[in-house]
Chain A
Amino acid sequence: MNFPGNLGRFGLRFVARLGASFLFLVQALAGAVKSLPRFHLIIHQLYSVGVLTMLIILVSGLFVGMVLGLQGYYQLVNFSAESSLGMVVALFLVRELGPVLAALLFAGRAGSALTAEIGLMKATEQLAAMEMMAVDPMTRVIGPRFIAGFIALPILAAMLSGVGVLGGYLVGHGQFGVDAGVYWSSMQNGVDLVDDVLNGVIKSVVFGFVVTWVALFEGYDAVPTSEGVSRATTRTVVTSSLAILGGDYVLTALMFGGL
């Protein structure tokens, strides 16, 4: 065993990949800007990245909201505070669970698909063929996907929060008989547009950026074999999940902790 040596090699590889990923980001952003006028390409990607992820987001959102309704009610009823159920469910979702859960699901559903798609395009020489047709893959392939991922996640996160609040209502009102007006008004009074909603949106924008970046980079950087693409896909899910959870802590501390 050569622990220090291995650690050093690992460190060097890590730094090299980090550098490569930033270089990729610069090129991808330039490609994204150039692909802006190609509206139909972006729409096409919005469909495969966003619309196809919607179902899992909506179903998950509903269940999470229902669980929040249950757990929230059991706790609040001890203090006879069940009238605050709407606020508790909404705050949890808008501040945390909406952006974080949507981003995790997005990484698993859309991020992995992006990595596999780009990796296979590389392995089957489709990217090289585009290069030889004088078409820049950064503009034609990477750019529209970057924009789509960046736009899709905030919308998906908002959907997850919305459906979640509805799920909380179904449980709170339907199962426990919390008054409908009380549920909705406590939510309206307790959730601040800037402090809560805007901060949640900022989170999901940041996560959308990071997940799409990771997914596209891993695909573009994949070793062009079946094993290489499979490893890259795994790395996308692992890396983006860690980035989402770690990033969430940092963002929450900055936004709500006055750090």
Chain B
Amino acid sequence: MSEVNMFENPIAQAKSVHFSFDQRSIFNGLDLQIPRGKVTAIMGPSGCGKSTFLGLLGGRLATLAGTIWFDGDAVPQRKSDALYVMRKKMGMLFQNSALLTDLTVFENVAFPLREQTDLPDVLIRILVLLKLEMVGLRGARDLMPAALSGGMSRRVALARAIVLDPKMVMYDEPFVGLDPISMGVIVGLIRKLNDALGLTSVVVTHDVAEGCSIADYVYLLDSGKVIGHGTPEEMLASTQPEIHQFMNGLPDGPVGYHYPANDYLTDLRS
């Protein structure tokens, strides 16, 4: 599909977004569009603000300037009914799964249904088992979160994130800390759910290989801006120095390996 087509009706976009934590600027003019129905990877070095971007997109953080749009509306900048209505159309998978530790796997997945709907228990049971089956954990429904492995808790969190049938699911570093098998399972699930349920997926990761293997489109962030974007093939083939360095994991380039310091020899002698 051509790029023009892909971005005809983006589900979300950031327009010259500025943001800072206290005095520290994180974004200074962030512009990007999330194509509808696709898997978009947002990549960049640790600490470049990827999780912060998801915070802005979900309305948990407020921009200093600029606007974030989701599904035709500006994301409200403070807690409000409008924001909560919008969040029902979003699902989010947090970096450390964020399962509620005092509830079973079943009740964790049922949680959004119990809170947001008046569905009878029989129906809730069916919906929960349906989602648990999708992530292959129907048999683990009675376990407590503490009894799950990292990969399993991430799949439970994924079932919970899609139980309200959102339009968009955000994944914060879904591949971190997984063994190769669990990693493959999660990679497969993200793609499968995206296509089967007609979702839009936003995957935040610093893992170039997995990010490129899964994404239809890639944004590369650094120093508070988008420094490059394109399909995975375009990005991997890019000769632009910053993009080339990150995509190929080179230790030195425009992004220095060394934290700024005074002269090495002088430092050792002093």
Chains A and B belong together in one complex: yes
Across-interface contacts of A128 in B (CB, < 8 A):
60, 94, 98
Across-interface contacts of B88 in A (CB, < 8 A):
134
Task: List 18 other contacts, CB 8 Å, given A132-B58, A133-B87.
Answer: A124-B96, A124-B98, A125-B94, A125-B95, A125-B96, A126-B98, A129-B92, A129-B100, A131-B60, A133-B111, A134-B85, A134-B115, A134-B116, A135-B112, A135-B115, A135-B116, A136-B84, A140-B115
Chain B 77-119 near chain A by CB (<8 Å), digits 1 or 0: 0010000110110111011101111000000000110011000
A-B contact count (CB 8 A): 49
Binding site for B on A (CB under 8 A): 124-126, 128-129, 131-136, 140
Q: Which single residue of chain B is at the shortest CB-CB distance from A129?
A: B98
Q: How far is the CB of A257 from chain B (nearest CB, A)?
A: 44
Across-interface contacts of A136 in B (CB, < 8 A):
79, 84
A132 touches B87 (CB 8 A): yes
Q: How far is the CB of A225 from chain B (nearest CB, A)?
A: 13
What interface size band does chain B fall in? 20 to 34
CA distance A124 to B111 in the complex (A): 17
Across-interface contacts of A133 in B (CB, < 8 A):
87, 111-112, 115-116, 160, 164
CA distance A8 to B268 in the complex (A): 39
CA distance A159 to B111 in the complex (A): 36
Across-interface contacts of B95 in A (CB, < 8 A):
125
Across-interface contacts of B94 in A (CB, < 8 A):
125, 128-129
Q: Which single residue of chain B is at the shortest CB-CB distance from A127?
A: B98
Across-interface contacts of B60 in A (CB, < 8 A):
128, 131-132
Q: How far is the CB of B84 from chain A (nearest CB, A)?
A: 4
Q: How far is the CB of A32 from chain B (nearest CB, A)?
A: 16
